[in-house]
Structure 1
Amino acid sequence: MKSVTIQQPEKLVIEERPVPQPQPGEVRIRVSSAGICGSDVHIYRGHNPFAKYPRVIGHEFFGHIDAVGEGVESSRIGERVVGDPVVSCGHCYPCLVGRPNVCAELQVVGVHRDGGFSEYVTLPAHNAHRVPDSIPDNEATMVEPFTIAANICSQMNPGPLDTALVYGAGPMGLTSIQALRGVYGVKEIIVADRIDERLDMAKANGADRVINNTHIELKTELEKLGIRPTLIIDAACHPSILPEAIGIASPAARIGIMGFSSDPCVLSQQAITSKELTIYSSRLNSNRFPMVINWMTERKIQPEKLITHQYAYTQVLDAMELFEKDQKQCCKVLLKF
């Protein structure tokens, strides 16, 4: 089989590998399409501290089960499925309290174990989620990105009383906007970004108001508008954002952090406790695949709006370069296998 492998940072090859055989409790998926994520580029560039090389990357993938291991019903062969990349132990404290995404022995497909940028991939059978025929292949490939939004929203519990502020109109921000609008029905969504074309995407995906904060202080601009966000999602994850968000937030607001920077930031304890703010962090997803598949089935979200480019897997370097460098026109890129 052909696999996209990062042999070491900055060295990507498409190589021939043996077709993997599913182990007991596993299934093998014949991959049809896979999405490029920022973390794939980070592994390629050598900026992901969790990755070990060589590594077949890719954690957003869709395909069909074509083989099963011992203990898995053979009737699953032929199922249209998406793969949850979170592989957990099931017995540590996080797993026992329903948070396998921070398992003490966490393995992420495409990071700690080989991923979906390959003609075939194996993973535990319970990580392969059946996709109804009503969801087209391309949209099915988008389930995993929306689970990231589902995870933070499930913690923050948005609702119709909320005025939401989303930092960043990249893929994470846009999936969050769609969820806030189509699933949770928040009152108003404001989006801040520094690229006008990304702000246009935010409007197309449900934002009520957009602000280019390249040359303005966002806190001052929101005060002029009389807006005090009750729910803030940081989908840009620069260390300067959280301190600013704490200052902008309404009393009793919730703040959600969707990614991470290794750089420190300085926070005021008084600013947090005086408003009794709640701050959530979110990593990957915690069993959110069925939730997102249901959203798609009920047409509460529109994943096709985020797919801007498609490439054959043999053009993976071109696709990754486009994803990395064209932030004005590119959102989600799918590879076809």
Structure 2
Amino acid sequence: MVWPGSPGTVARFHGLCAGSRIAVGTERGPNLKRVVWTGTGRLEVSNDGDTRGAGCEGNEVRIRVTAAGFCATDVHIIRGQVRFVDPPLVLGHEIAGVVEECGEAVSRLSPGDRVKCDSVIGCGICGWCAQGATQFCKQAVELGITCDGGWAEWLVVPERALYRLPDALPDEVAAILDVEVYGALSKPGVCPGDTVVIFGPGPAGLIALQLARIMGATTVILCGTRKVRLQLGQRLGADYIVNVTERDPIALVRQVTGGKGADLAFEAAGSEAACLEVLQVLRPQGKAVFYGVHGRPLSRFPIDQVVLKDLNLYGALSNRTGWNEIFSWVLQGKLDLQSLITRTLPLDQASLAYELLNDPREEEVKIVFSMG
């Protein structure tokens, strides 16, 4: 995700930075099948026939999208809970595809290469981009969030946004693979022997619990309200699962840690209650990562707990680095993303996908559009 204060967040299709054109999205060839968010609660499938569009220039690469994820952020945008730009907008920021055409300056990729597309695209030359913090580039855009994204048959993006995929990595898994959770955990770090508490058993929380284990945590506790997702979390490696409607997570953490408290807590529920519980489960000098986006201010925040317990608080708009590590862990079977995919659908069933994800009774975790 890009920082909402960046001027790039109001760009529809491309930005300019020191003469470097950022070409992104589907604006250069309007005739293609795509799913467009047209307003609160509304998605429309458009299919105008021609899917190839104009040729690529410079460092541009045209990819044919083979798989695209339907993220909780997409649900929030469609519902009207968050808005970065006004509709109409082609959603989709979780993208995998195949290179179809390369501009004359492209050097790493060739037609036929399978690729993962980083949805956050900066100018590539500023100080933020140089350190991998493209989310803070003043010209940054995010596919499917601030400009047209991957719920379409093809995209044109700069080569720097693409990563060649290992042959053994399926398109559907590659589409939902991202570095954001890993970046959020890497800042505070997870030490061998740590007790880590995850609030929110959605995709981010289920990834976080696996990464915490990979990074050295001895005990991982997953808290939430949705039984099926909590059970999935247990299969993915959680030592304890807590349905917070039935059991007090604070009491459990005290019991498990002998009254000490957790070393790190990761809030991915996006709820005020979870934020408050994060502060309570931590030991003195513990670390809290706030990953969930709330869309509104908290009604209360006990700052004295932060001060008097000497807590360390971290945000989660992290640098776009760590792709090779994530690829490696998925291939080694240490990070299981396949189990998060509960359904694959064709692109023209986007409205059905929204209905399923918008209804908590359906217990969907991740839906992926397969366009192979």
Q: Same fold (TM over 0.5)?
A: yes
| Whole-angstrom distance in 2 between the partners of 1:98 and 1:81 | 19
Counterpart among 197, 203, 216 of residue 185 in structure 1: 216
Counterpart among 34, 39, 57 of residue 68 in structure 2: 34
Counterpart among 136, 141, 161 of residue 175 in structure 2: 141
Counterpart among 85, 88, 104 of residue 138 in structure 2: 104
| Whole-angstrom distance in 1 between the partners of 2:296 and 2:81 | 13
Note closer, same or farther for the CA distance 1:139–1:154 as it changes in structure 2 (3 Å cut): same
* Poorly superposed stretches of 4+, deviation over 6 Å: none
| Whole-angstrom distance in 1 between the partners of 2:318 and 2:91 | 16
SS at the partner of 2:207? Answer: helix
| Counterpart for residue 185 of structure 2 | 153
| Counterpart for residue 47 of structure 1 | 81
Note closer, same or farther for the CA distance 1:129–1:284 as it changes in structure 2 (3 Å cut): same
CA contact (8 A) 1:313 1:336 kept: yes
CA contact (8 A) 2:265 2:281 kept: no
Counterpart among 154, 157, 167 of residue 120 in structure 1: 154
Counterpart residue identity of residue 208, structure 1: D
Greater CA drift, 268-277 or 188-197: 268-277
SS at the partner of 1:12? Answer: strand
Q: Does 2:314 correspond to 1:262?
A: no
Counterpart among 202, 205, 222 of residue 170 in structure 1: 202
Counterpart among 245, 262, 276 of residue 214 in structure 1: 245
| Counterpart for residue 273 of structure 2 | 240
CA contact (8 A) 1:20 1:122 kept: no
CA contact (8 A) 1:156 1:254 kept: yes
Pairwise CA distance, 1:150:
1.0
Counterpart residue identity of residue 247, structure 1: Q
Note closer, same or farther for the CA distance 1:224–1:112 as it changes in structure 2 (3 Å cut): same
| Counterpart for residue 286 of structure 2 | 253
The two structures, once aligned, show a CA RMSD in angstroms of: 2.1
TM-score (norm 2): 0.84
CA contact (8 A) 2:82 2:295 kept: no
| Whole-angstrom distance in 1 between the partners of 2:40 and 2:318 | 23
| Whole-angstrom distance in 1 between the partners of 2:369 and 2:281 | 40
Counterpart residue identity of residue 216, structure 2: G
SS at the partner of 2:187? Answer: helix
SS at the partner of 2:163? Answer: strand
| Whole-angstrom distance in 1 between the partners of 2:171 and 2:273 | 38
Q: Does 2:37 correspond to 1:6?
A: yes
SS at the partner of 2:238? Answer: coil
SS at the partner of 2:285? Answer: coil
Note closer, same or farther for the CA distance 1:92–1:49 as it changes in structure 2 (3 Å cut): farther
SS at the partner of 1:35? Answer: strand
Pairwise CA distance, 1:288:
3.1
| Whole-angstrom distance in 2 between the partners of 1:160 and 1:74 | 37
User: What whole-Å deviation, never above 9, does each CA across 1:145-178 have from its counterpart, x for those lacking one?
Assistant: xx22211111121122210000011111101111
| Whole-angstrom distance in 2 between the partners of 1:223 and 1:74 | 51
Is there any run of 5+ residues in structure 1 with no aligned partner, and where?
Answer: none
CA contact (8 A) 2:93 2:149 kept: yes
CA contact (8 A) 1:86 1:284 kept: no
Greater CA drift, 104-113 or 239-248: 239-248
Pairwise CA distance, 1:321:
1.2
Q: Does 2:332 correspond to 1:301?
A: no
Note closer, same or farther for the CA distance 1:186–1:74 as it changes in structure 2 (3 Å cut): closer
Counterpart among 76, 88, 91 of residue 110 in structure 2: 76
Pairwise CA distance, 1:93:
5.3
CA contact (8 A) 2:172 2:370 kept: no
| Counterpart for residue 201 of structure 1 | 232
Counterpart residue identity of residue 305, structure 2: A
Pairwise CA distance, 1:52:
2.9
| Whole-angstrom distance in 2 between the partners of 1:118 and 1:285 | 26
Greater CA drift, 229-238 or 266-275: 266-275
| Whole-angstrom distance in 1 between the partners of 2:58 and 2:313 | 40
Q: May I ask how many residue pairs the two structures share in their alignment?
A: 334
CA contact (8 A) 2:233 2:241 kept: yes
| Whole-angstrom distance in 1 between the partners of 2:59 and 2:345 | 33
TM-score (norm 1): 0.92
* Percent of matched pairs sharing the same residue: 28
SS at the partner of 1:230? Answer: strand
Is there any run of 5+ residues in structure 2 with no aligned partner, and where?
Answer: 1-31
User: What whole-Å deviation, never above 9, does each CA across 1:58-91 have from its counterpart, x for those lacking one?
Assistant: 0111110001123113852111001000011345
